[in-house]
A and B are shown apart, each in its own frame.
Chain A
Amino acid sequence: MEERKRKAVVLLSGGLDSMLAARLMLDQGIHVEGINFFTGFCVEGHTHAVRLDRRARPVRNNALHSAEQLGIRLHIIEVIEEYKDVVLNPRHGYGAHLNPCLDCKSFMVGHARQWMEEHGFDFIVTGEVLGQRPMSQRRDTLPVVARESGALDRLLRPLCAKLLPPTLPEREGWVDRERLLGLSGRNRKPQIGMAHAYGYEYAQPAGGCCFLTDPNYTKKLRDLWGSRGERRYDFDDIMLLKIGRHLRPRPSFKLIIGREEGENRFLEGYRNRFVHLWTPEHNGPLALLQGAADDADLDLACAIAARFGQGRAAQTVRVAVGEPNGSRHDREVAPLPPHALATDWYL
């Protein structure tokens, strides 16, 4: 009797390593489908997509682009709510910033295991390389991921498999261990060579694929938690941290100011959630106000908003203050002079 074709689900991040791991499985005749988890912190084309001045870069989801090149299905799964516990309470702690890399990997492999079981797949594939990442891809932490995710020996890392104990797919002969790789360390020349050989395009996001490794982003996230007096967030919070200038002139409130038309258009979508400021008689950004601003705060916020508009040289500028309920009142303010815009207001 002919043995059935084995099925692997690959965690496809949109980066090169996971794409190559999937390729190695396809080359061995395995049926491969991709899975990609959207946590809300994923670095994708969208921040560039929002900004009209960055349209020169490819505006696309990298995982989808990888899947297209591989010719495999991709299941994009939103895990924003479940992921909060990983961010807020990582068992293994954070990396250099707020990146819970080891917990994150166990979470994602764990969800892939669940998906694998529900969909009748045989094993899980990742693009991990031994020694490439300081938290989640060390010799002592790779087994932690396999154990805590529940994937155990159904987790295959084709790029470094020869350096690890044989997994179930190798022992059962579903894949040929001899055709897997033994890559280690941070040198990416072998992967880049393979990408060229296969003719693959791939993304190399500066700073990695997660905003939680970004010091500027995590500074804003810490500020958000500090201003609330508790560590919590919702989806809109973490989206807005990616957009605009963020200034906290007073502990009581923060301004998010669009840097260009694309960001202003995105911020428009939050008019019904936040007090918002704009200068109706001059071109200028839209500013969202987060927090509880009293009258003096509002005057300062309007002066700052005026500072970032085309009327910044005028004696006074009319600033419209819109409420989430659609009501509006206007204030006449002097734009804040440049020297009054304190650098430590910027988050």
Chain B
Amino acid sequence: MDIDARFLLCPMPVIRLSAAMAKVAIGDRLTVRCTDPGALYDIPAWCRLEGHEILETRTESSGEIVIVVRAGR
């Protein structure tokens, strides 16, 4: 599942991810695309608390941040 959280500021990317997480099964992969650098801290922090796994974090040349998450509990 892809989540477009570009141009949203903290904590909206986390809120979008949380809402998407409610619709997927354990083990599913979600890709969040953001522009707020706060997401680099917030999304991994939220995933640690909720038991989800960060598979990949990268910043593209455009400045967009891409975070790939595997759904845990």
Chain A contacts to B: CB under 8 angstroms:
36, 38, 44-47, 49-50, 55, 58-61, 63-65, 67-68, 72-74, 76-78, 239, 265-266, 268-270
Contacts and interface: CB of A to CB of B under 8 A. Distances in A.
Contacts of B37: 49, 55, 59
Contact of B41 (A60, A72, A74, A239): A60
B34 to A, nearest CB: 11
Nearest to A75: B18
Contact of B9 (A50, A63, A78): A50
B45 A266 contact: no
A308 B16 CA distance: 36
B71 to A, nearest CB: 15
Chain A interface, >50% SS class: mixed
Contacts of A268: 7
A63 B15 CA distance: 13
A269 B10 contact: no
B7 A76 contact: no
A266 B38 contact: no
A270 B9 CA distance: 13
Interface of B: 6-7, 9-12, 14-15, 18, 35-38, 40-42, 45-46, 48-50, 63
A64 B14 contact: yes
Given A50-B36, A266-B35, A76 B18 contact: yes
B49 A60 contact: no
B9 A65 contact: no
Contacts of B18: 76
A44 B7 CA distance: 16
A49 B7 contact: no
A63 B49 CA distance: 12
Contacts of B10: 44-46, 49, 60-61
Contacts, number: 79
A55 B36 CA distance: 12
A43 to B, nearest CB: 11
A282 to B, nearest CB: 21
Nearest to B10: A46
Given A38-B11, A78-B12, A61 B49 contact: no
B45 A49 contact: no
Contacts of A269: 6-7, 35
Nearest to B15: A78
A55 B46 CA distance: 21
Contact of B36 (A46, A63, A72): A46
A38 B10 CA distance: 10
Contacts of A78: 12, 15
B38 A44 contact: yes
Instruction: Report which residue of B10, B37, B46 has the largest number of chain A beta carbons within 10 angstroms of its beta carbon.
Output: B10
A73 B36 contact: no
B44 to A, nearest CB: 10
